[in-house]
Copies of this chain bind each other. A is one copy, B any other.
Amino acid sequence: MTETPFTLDRFAAARQRIAPYVRHTPMLPAPLLHHDSPHGLQLKLENMQIAGSFKVRGAFNTLLSLEPEQQQRGVVASSGGNHGLAVACAAQRLGIPATIYLPATATPDRVARIHQFGVDLVTHGTSWDEAHARALAHAEADGLAYVHPFDDPRTVIGQGTLALELLDDLPDLDCVVIAIGGGGLIAGMAAVLKQSRPQIRIIGVEPKGAASMHHSLQRGFAERLPEPSNTIADTLAPRKVGDYTFALAQQYVDTVVQVDDLAMVHAMRWLWRECNQLVEPAGVAVIAALHSGVADLHGAVAPVAVICGGNAAAGSVFELYQQAIRS
């Protein structure tokens, strides 16, 4: 990275590029029902984004940045999670052929949702790493564009557009809490926020069972975790953050803290009681960090926690209601 591609004008251009296709998601309208959260806290409900997470910002930005000839040939991606859903959604919307590689561990509800978008699905391997390697080989062999889930400037810049919405909606914004998986969201958002207003504090949150950013920050470079990930927050579970995302986090993120799985399940229940938002564990990692006390907002007057994704496994609820009809 001799020259940074992460200047503010690029984020602004990306926002304009993807605007017709994504939602400007709402903040939770005040007041909060419960009083066990930091004073003045607002929640950015990115779980209400198209395809259920912020990932669609990077997916649209990447697909719309391709040359027309690349768009016609099609794209390849690998993800059994929110990135796969986002690329499938964007590809269908833009009429671009897409092949999504999934590990066999992808949950049935996410596979079904990706399938709905009419893209080609290939199951390979039992981890994202294996699906990723095969997908990359496919893309290179056929000369197709590979849409990386986090470590690509187009992806990072797409995700960072979320921060531009925060700056518009909350002029006093002074602290943001953001979950970390591969690091695309926090990297893009931190680049926008710190270049716009350096005094905004940025707190990253990762699962204890997949603390890949913490590990890399301690090492001083992006390094794979020695142990396999172990967390219910499957969309935060990459074993290695990206080179771009690591560099941006090192430069712009103030603190990275960790939460355990049980705290995330408690936070899921809290968010449901608070405003009837059912989200996946990754979506409430930020709430878990606030409630368990590891994320300290000391003195912040307009803090925001980003609820980054909502694709929980909700199938059992629909089953129960369907059974209630039969009986």
Q: Does A17 contact B (CB under 8 A)?
A: no
- For window 296-327 of A, CB contacts with B under 8 Å fall at 310-314, 316-318, 320-322, 324-325
Would A320 and B324 count as touching, CB distance under 8 A? no
Would B29 and A25 count as touching, CB distance under 8 A? yes
A272 contact set on B, CB distance < 8 A:
314, 318
A29 contact set on B, CB distance < 8 A:
23-26, 48
Closest 4 CB pairs of A and B: A276-B310, A316-B316, A23-B29, A26-B26
Q: Mark A263-290, 1 if CB is under 8 A from B, else 0.
A: 0110011001101111101000000000
Number of A residues near B (Cβ < 8 Å) is: 47
Q: How far is the CA of A186 from the CA of B318 in the complex (A)?
A: 27
Would A232 and B52 count as touching, CB distance under 8 A? no
By beta carbon, the residue of chain B nearest A32 is B50
Q: 8 A-B residue contacts at CB 8 Å?
A: A26-B29, A33-B51, A52-B276, A116-B273, A232-B321, A261-B324, A262-B322, A265-B321
Would A278 and B23 count as touching, CB distance under 8 A? no
- Besides A33-B51, A312-B321, 6 more A-B contacts (Cβ < 8 Å) are A20-B31, A232-B324, A265-B318, A281-B321, A312-B317, A314-B314
CB of A232 to closest CB in B, whole Å: 5
Would B48 and A277 count as touching, CB distance under 8 A? yes
CB of A43 to closest CB in B, whole Å: 11
Q: How far is the CA of A33 from the CA of B52 in the complex (A)?
A: 10
Q: How far is the CA of A307 from the CA of B299 in the complex (A)?
A: 37
The residues of A with any CB-CB pair to B shorter than 8 Å are: 20-21, 23-26, 28-31, 33, 47-48, 50-52, 89, 113, 116, 232, 261-262, 264-265, 268-269, 272-273, 275-279, 281, 310-314, 316-318, 320-322, 324-325
Would B31 and A50 count as touching, CB distance under 8 A? yes
Give the dominant DSSP class at A's interface: helix
A31 contact set on B, CB distance < 8 A:
20-21, 23, 50
Q: How far is the CA of A25 from the CA of B28 in the complex (A)?
A: 8
By beta carbon, the residue of chain B nearest A233 is B321
From B28, B51, B276, B325, contact of A279 by CB (8 A): B276
A21 contact set on B, CB distance < 8 A:
31
Q: How far is the CA of A20 from the CA of B30 in the complex (A)?
A: 9
Q: How far is the CA of A113 from the CA of B270 in the complex (A)?
A: 11
A89 contact set on B, CB distance < 8 A:
33
Would B262 and A325 count as touching, CB distance under 8 A? yes
Would A325 and B275 count as touching, CB distance under 8 A? no
Would A232 and B275 count as touching, CB distance under 8 A? no
CB of A70 to closest CB in B, whole Å: 25
Q: How far is the CA of A228 from the CA of B116 in the complex (A)?
A: 40
Q: How far is the CA of A48 from the CA of B277 in the complex (A)?
A: 8
A33 contact set on B, CB distance < 8 A:
50-51, 89
CB of A320 to closest CB in B, whole Å: 6
Would B278 and A314 count as touching, CB distance under 8 A? yes
A113 contact set on B, CB distance < 8 A:
273
By beta carbon, the residue of chain B nearest A276 is B310
